[in-house]
Amino acid sequence: MIVGVSLDPCLMAQNVPGSCFPRGVVDTSEMAAYVAREDGTIARLSLQDGKPGWISSRASLPLIVISGRLLAADYPKAKEGQFSVAIIATRDGSLLARSESVSLDLPAFSPAETPPVLEAIPMHESVRMQWVTTARNRGGASPPIQQAARAPRRTRHSVIVDPLTARLTEQSAEQLSSPDAASTPSRESVPYVRGDKWSSGPWHAGETTADLIRMSSGGNRTLSLQIRGTSDQQADKTVPLGLNDNPSAPRVTQDGAYVLLSDNDGTAQTYRIFSSTSGAEIGRATLPPGAHEICIHGSQLYFLAAGFSGNRSDIVIRALDIAANRVLWEYSLGERRTGTPPPLPQ
C-alpha cells in the first residue's frame, strides 16, 4: 500500500488506488491508518474512531504495510539528501529493523526545493523504493539556447528492501524518456486540484485512465469524465457530469479513484462524488475551504483541514460518513506555521 504525504522539509510518498490516506497509509484489513505527525513522529489511528493506538519516534514517513510490518522513511539527514528505512511492528510501534542510509543522488539538493517523490512498490518477497530526480541548470552562465529548450534529464533511482531485515540492494539508475503521451493534457482538458497541487490532463486510476474534459453542446459548456480502459476488455466511454459553470476547481482524490465537483461556492462547499473508473455518482460531502489530500475508503471520506490562530495552524485529519454527510471524528497532527495555497494554473 502506498500513500500520499506532504511534509516540509522531507520526502514525499506516491499513492495507488485503494490505499491512500491523508499524510499516511491505510491498512483496511486491520481498520487502521499510520499517519505522519507534525513533530516528526508516526501515529497508528483507528479508522472507527480516530483514536491513536501508539505514537512512534522511530521514523517520520509511513510508506507501506506488509504482514504486520510498517515500512517507513526516516530522514534525519534529508537536508543532506539521505534517508533510511525503518521497519516498525504495527501492533505496538516497536522498531524491528533499520536500513543503512540511502542517498537520493542529489548533490546540490537544497531544503528550499521540492524533494523527490518516494514510491514504495510491493514485490513478491520484497519492496522496491524508487524516486525520480531531475537535472537542472544551477547558477553560473546561462546554457545555450538549444540546451535550454531541451526537457530536463530525468533519472529513476531505486533500492530493493527486505521487509524482514531492512537489508538494501541498490539497483542501477534508469534514464527516463519524455513524459508519457497518455498523461499530456489535451485542449479540452480541465485543470483540477489533486492533493494540494494543481494539475491537468489524464491520470491513472486502477486499470483505467481518466480525464476531465470540457465539451460544448447547444451553446452550453459541459464537464465530462473521459474514461479509457488499459485492456481490450474495457470499452472507452465519456460520462457527462453537468454544466461547467462553477468557479470552484474540481478535486481528484490522492489515488485518482474519485472526482469531486462542487455544487456551490461559499464558506463550505458540498461536493458530488464520482468514481473515476465507472463515472457513477456515489454520494455527496460538505467540506471546508482548504480541505485537501482527500481519500475515500468504502463509505467514509478522509481529508486534511487546518484551524488557524495567528501565524500558526492546527493540522487535523477528519473522517466523514458519505451517506449521512457528517463528520465522524478528527485527529490533530499538531501545529505548523501557516502556509500558502497552491499557485493558480498558468
Domains delineated in the chain: 12-136+153-176 (2.40.128.630), 181-337 (no CATH)
141 confidence band (pLDDT: 50, 70, 90): low
- Band (pLDDT 50/70/90 cuts) for residue 265 is low
Torsion of CA 22, 68, 92, 313, to 10 degrees: -10
pLDDT of residue 303: 96
Summarised one tens digit per residue, pLDDT across range 145-176 is 555 455 677 899 999 999 999 999 999 999 98
pLDDT level of residue 143 (50, 70, 90 thresholds): low
User: Which residue reads 473508473 in cell numbers?
Assistant: 277
> What is the predicted pLDDT for the residue at 4?
33
Is pLDDT of 301 > 70?
yes
Model pLDDT, residue 1: 37
Q: Is pLDDT at 42 greater than 80 in this prediction?
A: yes
Residue 194: pLDDT over 80: yes
pLDDT level of residue 107 (50, 70, 90 thresholds): low
Predicted TM-score (pTM) of the model is 0.82
Rounded mean pLDDT of 88-100? 96
- Give the DSSP per-residue string, 243-270: ES---SPPEE-TTSSEEEEES--SSSEE
Where residue 316 falls among pLDDT bands split at 50, 70, 90? very high
pLDDT value at position 336? 79
Residue type, 332: S
Residue with the larger pLDDT of the pair 19 and 144:
19
Assess whether pLDDT exceeds 50 at residue 3: no
Q: What's the confidence (pLDDT) of residue 222?
A: 84
- Please state the rounded mean pLDDT for residues 117-142: 79
**CA pair distance 69, 89, nearest whole angstrom:** 5
Rounded Cα gap, residues 26 and 256, in angstroms: 16
More confident residue, 186 or 158: 158
d(CA 292, CA 323): 20
CB 42 within 8 A of CB 54: no
